[in-house]
Amino acid sequence: MAASTETSVGFVDAAVHHRVQQFYAEQMQLLDRGEAEPWARTFTEDGVFGTSVDPEPARGRAAIAAGAAEATARLAADGVVHRHWLGMLHLRPAADGGLHARSYALVIRTPKGGEPVVWRSCVCEDLLVPTDGGGWLVRERHVHRDDLS
């Protein structure tokens, strides 16, 4: 009963897919715990992180860590918690064993004593590169906010 017409969907290997899922889960948790340095180490040394609102992307781990530390301090001052959810992960092979990853991202924002809201809805486009140990790092990330699209 195999259907006669193939879908356009391409697939990456199960082992790659599950590792990338685990990579993102840990990466988002590091960010939301305010672990700026370990978060920055999920990017390559020369990693690039751009968003819809920054005129220039952050370049390199030091800049990426500084951005995360600043965001963490602002959240603490405001008495809110952010949770980054990443989903609908679509992977395509890139050059040299890398992966293009296009996913959706939500930021859920909860004030202490208050109600959570969907703070941001975004599309996240990553270029992932493999590490020697079978893991992944982000070489380039561009986050596109839906409200600014």
Question: Which residues between 46 and 85 bind a copy of itself (CB under 8 A)?
Answer: 81, 83-85
Total residues in contact with a copy of itself, by rule CB under 8 A: 78
Our CB check for a copy of itself shows the closer of 58 and 137 to be 137
Residue type, 63: A
**Beta carbon of residue 54, minimum distance to a copy of itself (angstroms, whole number):** 18
CA distances from 83 to 10, 26, 28, 33, 121 (A): 30, 12, 8, 9, 12
Among positions 49, 64, 65, 103, the unique one binding a copy of itself when judged by CB under 8 A: 103
Among positions 91, 99, 124, 143, the unique one binding a copy of itself when judged by CB under 8 A: 91
Work out whether 125 is an interface residue with a copy of itself (CB under 8 A).
no
Alpha-carbon gap, residue 47 to 139, rounded angstroms:
5
Q: Please, are residues 90 and 102 in contact by the beta-carbon 8 Å criterion?
A: yes
Our CB check for a copy of itself shows the closer of 38 and 57 to be 38
Q: Which stretch binds a copy of itself (CB under 8 A): 49-57, 70-78, 98-106?
A: 98-106
Q: Please, are residues 107 and 83 in contact by the beta-carbon 8 Å criterion?
A: yes
Work out whether 36 is an interface residue with a copy of itself (CB under 8 A).
no
Q: Please, are residues 98 and 128 in contact by the beta-carbon 8 Å criterion?
A: yes
Residue type, 47: G
Q: Which stretch binds a copy of itself (CB under 8 A): 49-57, 65-73, 113-121?
A: 113-121
Residue type, 129: V
